[in-house]
Amino acid sequence: MKAPEKTSDQLPAISTRGPVFVDASGRRLRRVQLIGLGVLGLVAGYVVLVLAAFIGGSGVSAPFLPVPAAAGPHETPTSRPSVDPRAGLTGPVVPVVEQSPAAVPVPVSAVTAVPPAAATAVVPAAPAAPAAAPAPAPPAAPAAPGPSGTVTGSGATAPGSSGTAPGSSAIAPGASGSAPGQATRPTAPAHQ
């Protein structure tokens, strides 16, 4: 019997080059060891990376002293360092501040300590807005100075006291809900 479909390329005679894969010089072994070390290094690097990202202490958080602790009407923190890109856009405003009894004794604090109803807030006068701000020039009137101290004691706490209440209650008045706002609008800083 004969092989019917002889392929032209005959197999080479039994090789004398030793078993397949075996590298007597050991060069491949060393290379594989290097690759293994490399893989280990990558793996270790990744593990260190993740551990550093997740487990590192919280000592590098952002310590800040942001709240202007019940600043007096005239020493309000005016516009921040010019680093702030928003600095020029809006005039410095002094917020409504409340403090707990434990806070630094400021004249107002005694009043605010009484929680719900009588909580008082101090709204100092907003100094004149920086009219010359290099803002993207909104058409709004630039320097409408705010009214000196719109003291709305209970008003400051009302919206905050009941989470979603203002939202839901605002639905009812609808268009007329803005009535109080309209009343005072002309004197408000028309800044955006």
Partner 1 sequence: MARLNKGARPATRNVPANVRAHWFVLLATLIALGLALAVQGYIHHLGGIARDSPPANTAADAVPATVSHGGPVVDSRGAAVTTVSPPDRTIALTFDDGPDPVWTPRILDVLREHHVHATFFVVGSAAVDNPELLRRIVAEGHEVGVHTLTHTDLGTAPEWRRELEVQGGQDAIVGVTGQAVSLLRPPYTAGNGAITNGMWSALHGMADEGYLTVLSSLDSEDWQTPGTKAIEANLTPSGPQGQIVLMHDGGGDREQTVAALDSALSRFAEQGYRVTTVGNAVGVDSMRPASSVEELRGSALVLGLRLSDFVVWAISLGLVAAGVVTFLRAVLVMFFAARHSRAARRLPGDGRGRRRVDVMVGPVVTEPATVIVPAYNESAGIEAAVLSILASTHPVEVIVVDDGSTDGTADIVEALALPGVTVIRKENGGKPSALNAGIQAASHDIVVMVDGDTVFEPDTVRALIQPFADPLVGAISGNTKVANRGGILGAWQHIEYVVGFNLDRRLFDVAECMPTVPGAIGAFRLNALVNVGGVSDDTLAEDTDLTMALCRDGWRVVYQEDARAWTEAPATLGALWKQRYRWCYGTLQAMWKHRGAVVQGGAAGKLGRRGLGYLLVLQVLLPLFAPIVDVFALYGLIFLDPLRIAALWLVFLAVQFLMAAYAFRLDKERLGPLWTLPLQQFVYRQLMYLVVIQAVVTAVAGVHLRWHRMERYGSLRVPQTQGQA
Write out the binding residues for partner 1, residues 35-54 only, by CB under 8 A.
36, 39-40, 43-44, 46-47, 49-50, 52-54
> Considering the complex, what minimum distance in angstroms separates the CB of residue 128 from partner 1?
14
Asked whether position 2 contacts partner 1 by CB under 8 A, the answer is: yes
DSSP string, 147-180: PS----HHHHHHHHHTTTHHHHHHHTTGGGGGHH
- Candidate list 80, 107, 131, 145; residue touching partner 1; CB under 8 A: 80
Tally the residues of the chain: 192
- Asked if residue 189 lies in contact with residue 126, where contact means CB atoms within 8 angstroms, the answer is yes
- Candidate list 133, 142, 143, 161; residue touching partner 1; CB under 8 A: 161
- The residue among 149, 151, 133 whose CA lies nearest residue 141 is 133
> Considering the complex, what minimum distance in angstroms separates the CB of residue 16 from partner 1?
10
> Considering the complex, what minimum distance in angstroms separates the CB of residue 95 from partner 1?
4
Write down the residue that tokens 């604090």 correspond to.
109
